[in-house]
Chain A
Amino acid sequence: MEREDLLKMHSELMGEDVWEFHSLEKGGVKRSLSILLRGRYAGVKYPISDRLAVLATIAAGLLFLLSVGSLAVTFLRSRMDLGIILVVDRAVGDLVLGLLGFIYSAGIFLIDNPAFGAVLGILLLVWLARR
């Protein structure tokens, strides 16, 4: 490079501020979906852990909606004959039991499934290779 080019580059580097992605910060859903489906966003490649994190966030949201729904249903079913304290008590008990049962059955199903075991093994191997 010529001296003038170098000096010009220097003044540019000293003048410009670091770009902070302010314009992109609004696109949260777009970014998450892009990371989940394609594994890259804004020219940056994301590892499998980030994709799984997006998936886990979606699963957590769905679980939250389910739990709120079950609470509401329990409340509506038994509003006629019981006091509010008993209703809430029963709803929370049902919710906890339902969640535990769901997790238990999901775990049993996944452990019994050979395809899931294979996927888990491959993921473990990939993780070990990337370390």
Chain B
Amino acid sequence: MNKLSAQLVNLYSTITAFIISAKKHVPKFIEGLKEMMGRAKGRVKEALALVLGEAETFMQILDDLEAKWILLGKRVGVAIEKLRMGVKLAKENVLVLIDKLRRIIENSSMLALELLGRGVYLRIKEEMRRILKNPNVVREDAELEATVREAEQLSELLQRSEKLQNEKANMMVE
């Protein structure tokens, strides 16, 4: 692979990791804020509402970014193929794309820092680093979550069946 196209793929996967990790951490943050708002009163509640509004703004930004991410993926693929085939002006197009991707990453991470605060930002960055190091982590996490959900459902079913059996036994005794 060419140096330029490798750079392009690297930047694109950075954006992907950013979206995945933000989609994981920001909803958790919003849920926590909502729980705290339920308990808080007065000025604290107002301050929490402000923070919540900012977090929801960031979720909208993330949706925009996800929509753009799909289009950019198409562009990146076409640019790499053109570069490989030696189409005229492919190099300039790739450079423009690289510049654009870099600006998007910079802007969205600065927005995350501005709107969500340092804690969530650092968590997102750490998750990004983890995903970029080993992309299989995403799949493994999803599989783990699915197994945990299945186990919870099974335990609920077990509890229900135990209840029913107890009721039946009580009925028999009566």
Interface residues of A (CB under 8 A from B): 1, 3, 6-7, 9-10, 13-14, 18-21, 24-25, 28, 31, 42, 44, 46
Contacts and interface: CB of A to CB of B under 8 A. Distances in A.
Interface of B: 61, 64-65, 67-68, 72, 75, 88-89, 91-93, 95-97, 100, 103-104, 107-108, 110-111, 114-115
A1 B110 contact: yes
Overall SS of chain B's interface:
helix
Given A20-B93, A21-B89, A28-B88, A10 B61 contact: yes
B68 A14 contact: yes
A18 B96 contact: yes
Contacts, number: 49
B89 A13 contact: no
30 contacts: A1-B110, A3-B115, A6-B107, A7-B111, A9-B103, A9-B107, A10-B61, A10-B64, A10-B108, A10-B111, A13-B68, A13-B100, A13-B103, A13-B104, A14-B64, A14-B65, A14-B68, A18-B72, A18-B75, A18-B93, A18-B97, A21-B89, A21-B92, A21-B93, A21-B96, A24-B89, A25-B88, A31-B89, A44-B92, A46-B91
A44 B91 contact: yes
A6 B103 contact: no
Contacts of B68: 13-14
A10 B129 CA distance: 23
A86 B36 CA distance: 97
Nearest to A20: B93
A7 B110 CA distance: 10
Contacts of B92: 21, 24, 42, 44
A18 B111 contact: no
Nearest to B89: A21
Nearest to B106: A9
- 6 cross-chain pairs, A with B, having the tightest CB-CB distances, nearest first: A21-B89, A14-B64, A9-B107, A6-B111, A14-B68, A21-B92
Nearest to A13: B104
